[in-house]
Amino acid sequence: MREDEVQEIMKNWLKGRRFEVLENTQINSGNKVDLIAKKGNEEWIIEVKGDYDRYTAQYNVNFDTSMGQILKSITTLNNETKYAICIPFRRTEQGAKLSYRLILKKYSKSLVFEVLNVHIILVRDDESVEVIPPKDVRAFLRNIEPKIRAR
């Protein structure tokens, strides 16, 4: 699933929950963010990534880049502002060679998610969305299968 497809699904999911959604917007930190969603006092700052078809290294670089982008966006820590990295999940879930499975496993001991209120959002091909809250991210990442599954 391409990044623009993931972003469109995520945008529609947020709008379906009555969020006002802005795309590709510069925020106070000067960083450009893929999605900003607001409803009342609640705000989501979301970095979106897609699938890549050439090299496994693309997944590593792009996820690390998304972490850097989200870290640059964290200018406040409170219960109303939530940060997230949103990725397509089918390939990872299936244990495909070209997927996020290897890089996600490397973050399974990182405290950054809990400390900085960073969520992981999974988008599936059926357009369903699953939000992994910060307190559950490390356990979720530990359970990702790092091995390639036989076809």
| Residue 141 pLDDT > 80 | yes
pLDDT of 9 > 60? The answer is: yes
Which residue range forms the structural domain that includes residue 15? 3-142
- Residue 52 CA to residue 114 CA, distance in Å, equals 28
Overall average pLDDT of the 44-48 stretch:
97
The CATH number that applies at residue 51 is 3.40.1350.10
Q: Let me know if residue 99 belongs to a domain.
A: yes
Q: How many degrees, rounded to 5, is the angle at CA 37 between CA 105 and CA 120?
A: 10
In-domain check, residue 149:
no
Structural domains of the chain, count: 1
Task: Judge whether 148 lies within some domain.
Answer: no
What's the pTM value of the predicted model, to 2 decimals?
0.92
- d(CA 8, CA 86) in angstroms, rounded, equals 11
- pLDDT tens track for 14-37: 999 999 999 988 887 777 999 999
According to the model, what pLDDT value does residue 46 have? 97
Evaluate whether residue 66 is within a structural domain.
Answer: yes
At residue 88, the pLDDT reads 97
Q: Is there a domain that residue 94 lies in?
A: yes
Asked whether residue 90 is domain-assigned, the answer is yes
Predicted local confidence at residue 148, as pLDDT: 58
